[in-house]
Structure 1
Amino acid sequence: MGDIGFSVLFPVFFSAAIFIIPPLVQGDLSYSFPEEMKRGSVIGNVAKDLGVDLNTFSSRKARVDIEGARKHYFDIRMSTGELITSDRIDRESICEKQPSCIMKIDLVLENPLELHRISLRVQDVNDNSPKFRQNLIEMEIRESADKGNRFSIEEAHDADIGQNDVQRYILQNNYNFGLAVDSNKVELVLEKNLDREKQRDVSLLLTAIDGGSPQKSGTVVIHVTVLDANDNAPSYSEWCLGVLLSIC
């Protein structure tokens, strides 16, 4: 009989315990803000958004803990309940080229103890310029190369993402070459035949431009050495000299 009474009363006690003990983890908050904000910039007012009385906010010793972060990027302004930046936030160093950059922090309140999860989406700004791996690209092309031949060029890279990444290329006006770009594949296109006897070297300036506002760009010099082909018959004087040398 005692066992039956306990089994009947246990669910009642268990339900009462759940009702009395408040949950430690509350609903999430989410904010979005651009990278590179100045220290002390306001991200959002957590006290207001959580409905916490500002008069008791400070006495509850509000603090933030950041998951997996070496730096203390955020802080709480006790007088206003605002979440602010306490260090420079560089999106590229945190998330690299990932399309979405989200930082997770915990807001802790005491008396009573509460834990609020906050998601922070770091927005990309155009703070990087396109860069080529080298300042100078050396190429060798035979003067006998046919028109329409293509020659690959290593594309530029930009640490930013989306519209702030590289969007187009511009090749300096020149007599021999055009430019073809397809899915980040960059190629020089020979549009007019080379003639080493007229020009042994061709220097071209290639510019990569991103889509940010304002736009940023990077350049590389392409130096083409025109290799000789046996496209000229010996002149009469050269033929005579050859005959004389064979007689001697």
Structure 2
Amino acid sequence: MFLPLHDGVPLRHMKTPVVARSLIAACTLVHLLFVFGPIGPDEMVGGLGLIPAVLFGFETLPEGYPFVPIWMTLGTNIFLHGSWFHLIGNMLFLWVFGDNVEDAMGHLRFLTFFLICGVLASLTHALASFYVAGASLPGTFILPTPQRPLIGASGGVSGIVAAYVILYPRVRIWALFLGGIPLRLPAYWAIGFWFAVQFVSAFFGADEGVGWFAHLGGFIAGAILIPIMRHRYDPVLARAAAQELQTPR
């Protein structure tokens, strides 16, 4: 659908996006443990994934699960991924967009921003599944089932995507669209297309195994938080970056 490749926006306030790269390293390490570690994938998901029915007390897991207090699974699930493709896709978004958002916030604020967006994304997913558990909806709507675990960093990443498009709406980014078509489009077009896909997929019956509502919740959280949490953003520099990247070379 949409896979970002490169934006070329230079960092202006830091040399290295330490937190963005550390998050990529942490998610990769956890996935290696997920695949090759002594605890099997099912046990990892049961121990650290978010299961809405368990979170809200409808169901319980066997003794010893989850590995952390139930409320903490709103955050621990962020670092688990179901496959290498799932991991690489999320980390590519974090690599392309995370450095400039971290540059606008600073290290600590960026880490806090990512975690808040991830937790609120998880909560949005859980509430959506909680609603469908007790509601009768039209047949075209397919909301997440409360027994299905949620894992993945895409909620936090969606918050970063929202922050990026607010900070740099006119910067042109290279991305793959619709199964592999390379295009260079302004961020507001590319990310607007991505958001439209998430919205339609969430409400009108796409793959039930994808946390579409987590994506929406993370994006909305990021859009709300970025005006509050940014402290190194200069709109003049943002326009200059966009103009510089649009200049033929």
Category of TM-score, reference length = shorter chain:
under 0.3
Q: Could you say which structure has the greater relative contact order, defined with CA pairs below 8 angstroms and 6 or more residues apart?
A: 2
More strand by percentage:
1
When normalised by structure 1's length, the TM-score is: 0.23
More helix by percentage:
2
Task: Tell which structure's C-alpha radius of gyration is larger.
Answer: 1
